[in-house]
Structure 1
Amino acid sequence: MQQLSTNKIHRVLITGVAQNLEFIFNEKQKADKVLERCFKANKQWGKRDRAFIANATYEIVRWYRKHCNSLELDYTTTRTTKECYALIDLYLIYRNELDYLKIFTKDEYKKLQKRNVEAEKNIALQQSYPDWIAQSGIAERELIALNKPATLVVRVNTLKTNNKQVENILSAENIKFEKVVNSHFTALNNAYVLPTRPNIFGSEMFKNGLIEVQDAGSQMIAQYLDVSEGMRVIDACAGAGGKTLYIAALMHNKGKIISMDTEAHKLEELQKRAKRNSVTIVETRIIDSSKAIKRLHNTADRLLLDVPCSGLGVLRRNPDAKWKLTPEFITEIRAVQQHILSNYTAMLKVGGVAVYATCSLLPQENEMQVQEFLLNNINYELVRENYILPTMGFDGFYMAAIQRVKE
């Protein structure tokens, strides 16, 4: 195999991708954070350059094991700079942006193609997953769907605007949009797909709180709570508050939402977002001890438990997680989920409903957790449960509505 030929791709962009890959594969840094830092350090890059860097980085990470197999590399070890360039070569060849004869001899490329044919017999190699994920019970069609690029979905903030106004602004800015029309998402009246993936965070619409970036499945979880005006709602694993903001809109800013998390910086971000969205009914509380939960026992009409999880349902937007997750982590996170489900549900009033949710597709994080909880807690009943699957066109989620029926 010869040295990289960048063909028409500017050398500095290739170097940028190679550096990103080293940070991701060798230092286990998150791909989105690596790209964010890369772009901040290279503000001179234009829109097309940034798109090339992002697409190349994500696609190589997404198909990492398959590419490593083609190049006879062990995907479980760290990568040299030379190997990172070889991965970029292969990416460019598969995109017809680089002539394979500039990198490989004909015999080398024939052997590579033969390895690719053999890989088609193994779903883990074919779809580029660690063996344990490929053998986890997730349906093959979902593994395939998780390898597609993530969809950009925005939600219209009905506290400040309406669909028509947002459609007019999008049209005026020549941004293509599609209403979310899907038999599984019929209730999402304010959700739009932006197929060209514009930099929406830099838009005046976003800065003024007219829209929020939120996947369709995530919006469905907020709707699953079935809230109404005047309710007292607790979002107990709120993070930066994406679902809190939508819940407030569904309640027409009437009632009370207590948003909780163990990390103060996330709640600070939630407060900033709430202000931008004109959400006025949210109070944030840090979970710094069990007392924070006990103070709220028997107070909630609705309780959202969007628990920490493996994130296997959102691999389309976080493909690097494939190479960081382990079976041991699943065991550890299940214990965290069990603790939250067992202890936080006491915040519900009798008659109140909790929604337990994950962005995982593993039964052991989802329905098995709910079944075990109900077996050990006879004062609660399952109302309904649902999966949002990647084959539906968006991220993967699980949600279960659980009602407290007795004291």
Structure 2
Amino acid sequence: MTDSVNTRELILGILMEVTKEGSYSHLVIRSVLDKYQYLEKKERAFITRVSEGTIQYMIELDYIINRFSKVKVNKMKPVIRNILRMSVYQLKYMDSVPDSAVCNEAVKLAKRKGFGSLSGFVNGVLRNISRNLSSITYPDGQKDQIQYLSVHYSMPEWIVKQWINDYGMERTVSVLQAFLQEAPVTIRTNLLKITPEALEMRLKEEGVTTEKIVCADMPELNYAFMISGFDHLNALESFREGLFYVQDVSSMMVAETVDPVKDSYIMDVCAAPGGKSVHLAEKLGGTGMVEARDLTDYKTDLIRQNIARHQLSNMRAVQMDATVLDEASIGKADVVIADLPCSGLGVMRRKTDIKYKMTLQTEQELVSLQRKMLETVCQYVKAGGTLLYSTCTMDKMENEDNVTWFLKQHPQFELVKMQQIFPQKTYGDGFFLAKLQKKA
């Protein structure tokens, strides 16, 4: 362990911010790793794995703790609850950490955080779990399939029910399995600066392992790779030079589906941080213009950073509210990208806490927001132009139902293509897109 930095204390701090303060896990973890970049790679990997794993498996971890503790998880003090969660995760999923070390470190951490009087309780619960971990009884899948799937895959019951209703049992189990796999890092070559072959060689020189992406559900993306074996992106000169963009393979399908014509004027109404806009600007080959809009200074600044890093002259960032009609833009765009705020249930491998924050009521509220935005931004599409609606979720209310509603309200548009992409075990998030064309 690096001098004066206790990695388990950092992990506990991450868990407290996520579970008590409501912060987003991926942002908190990134912030901690950025602050402690000087830690050894092994320590950074430990922080990431235990933090993400504890959040990912929280429903199962709470179930296990409740089997061995007279005080139920929801009645515990938040610090103790999270010390137990992160410790049980290590006991169950990390063979590299001896059980005795997990228990001892948990006791030390409880004392360090001012809960010495509860250190005996922590020790007792963890040692009991450690002794009996292989004989824990889980919910009976024959008697209560929903509870079984919820605990086994750490997914809230309401989401499991919704997916079974929408997609059936086989597809639901496949999706649940995929979400417990590690999220891959996928990148897209900046074709304006380098060829895929040259980028692959450059990455290998920097010690990065690359792998081609082949998926039956998608066209061949010869410019995309999965990468691994690196510490952090900013340490790669090729990343700093803007030779590639980190983007999930499913979201690459937006630009692929639009397949823009040179000199097009494209408007992306909810663009931050700008990955899809950058992709479209590159596809235009330096021609036309991609106007990447978003609501706040912070978000538009993220877009500007990406424009600068990729040195794009045919892309600009504009601060604008997608729910408010911009009369000056009516009928001006060849393409409008409406990648709208959604429940995010397709990206739970990368944003593991979304499943605990989202509710059915929130989903319904998002549907109303999405429809309001679509009503507004569809007016920017010129005759013969394209509206591309997309979300990073698998909720039919937000996806197919919204498209059906939109077409009824706007008969001047016709559906060209609609696709629900499901998360793959090895790569690709859950994603939805619908390409709509405005009649000439």
1:289: Cα distance to partner?
Answer: 7.9
Indicate the residue corresponding to 2:57 in structure 1.
Answer: 63
| Corresponding residue number in structure 2 for 1:221 | 254
Are residues 1:136 and 2:158 paired? no
Kept in 2, the 8 Å contact 1:69–1:115? The answer is no
**Quick one: structure 1 residues 377 and 183, their matched pair in 2 at CA, closer, same or farther if it must change by over 3 Å?**
same
C-alpha distance in structure 1 between counterparts of 2:55 and 2:269, whole Å: 33
Q: Match for 2:260: what amino acid?
A: V
The whole-number CA distance in structure 2 between the counterparts of 1:265 and 1:37 is 16
- 1:109 offset after TM fit, Å? 5.5
Q: Distance in 2 between matches of 1:113 and 1:136?
A: 31
TM-score normalised according to structure 1 size = 0.91
* Structure 1 residue runs of 4 or more that deviate by more than 4 Å after TM superposition: 73-79, 100-116, 288-292
Instruction: Give the corresponding residue for 1:33.
Output: 27
- Deviations along 1:318-353, one digit per CA (max 9) or x if unpaired, are 001111111221111111100111221111111111
Aligned AA for 2:162?
A: S
2:138 corresponds to 1:117? yes
Aligned residue pairs total: 398
Task: Trace 1:322-341 onto structure 2 (pairs within 5 A).
Answer: 322-341=355-374
Residue 14 of structure 1, CA deviation? 1.8
User: 2:394, 2:218 → 1: CA distance?
Assistant: 18
Q: 1:326 is matched by which residue type in structure 2?
A: T
Query: Are the equivalent residues in 2 in contact too, given 1:124–1:130 (CA < 8 A)?
Result: yes
| Amino acid aligned to 1:343 | T
Contact in 2 for aligned 1:233/1:258 (Cα 8 Å): yes
Q: Does 1:80 align with 2:78?
A: yes
Aligned pair partner of 1:179 in 202, 212, 220: 212
In the alignment, what sits opposite 1:52? 46
Deviations 1:44-90 (A, max 9, x none): 42111010001100001000010000001766677532222222221
Question: What does 1:127-206 align with in structure 2 at a 5 Å threshold?
Answer: 127-137=153-163, 139-196=172-229, 198-206=231-239
Classify the secondary structure of the residue corresponding to 1:315. coil
- d(CA) in 1 for partners of 2:186, 2:74: 33
Q: 1:12 aligns with which of 6, 18, 30?
A: 6
Q: Which range is displaced more, 40-49 or 16-25?
A: 40-49
Q: Percent identity?
A: 24
In 2, Cα distance between the equivalents of 1:352 and 1:146?
Answer: 36
Instruction: Indicate the residue corresponding to 1:365 in structure 2.
Output: 398
Q: 1:74 to 1:292 in 2, by over 3 A?
A: farther
How far does the alpha carbon of each residue in 1:354-400 deviate from its partner, in whole angstroms, 9 at most, with x for none?
11000000100101000011112111111111122103631110000
Distance 2:202 2:403 in 1: 43
Shift of 1:129: 1.3
CA distance in 2, matches of 1:211, 1:143: 30
Q: Is 215-224 or 98-107 further displaced after alignment?
A: 98-107
2:390/2:432 contact within 8 Å kept: yes
Q: Which moved more, 1:238-247 or 1:35-44?
A: 35-44
Of 212, 215, 236, which residue of structure 1 is paired with 2:269? 236
Q: Would the aligned equivalents of 1:355 and 1:400 in 2 still touch at CA under 8 Å?
A: yes
| Equivalent residue number for residue 3 of structure 1 | none
Task: Report the counterpart of residue 115 of structure 2 in structure 1.
Answer: none
The SS at the match of 1:217 is: coil
RMSD between aligned alpha carbons?
Answer: 2.5
The correspondence of residues 259-338 of structure 1 with structure 2, limited to 5 A, is 259-288=292-321, 293-338=326-371
8 Å contact kept, 2:418–2:435? yes
| Higher mean displacement: 51-60 or 137-146 | 137-146
Choose 257-266 or 95-104, whichever is displaced more.
95-104
Q: Is the partner of 2:385 in helix, strand or coil?
A: strand
Pair 71,259 (structure 1): closer, same or farther in 2 beyond 3 Å:
same
Alpha-carbon distance between aligned partners in 2 of 1:107 and 1:168, rounded to the nearest angstrom: 51
The change in CA–CA distance for 1:174 and 1:105 in structure 2 (over 3 A counts) is closer
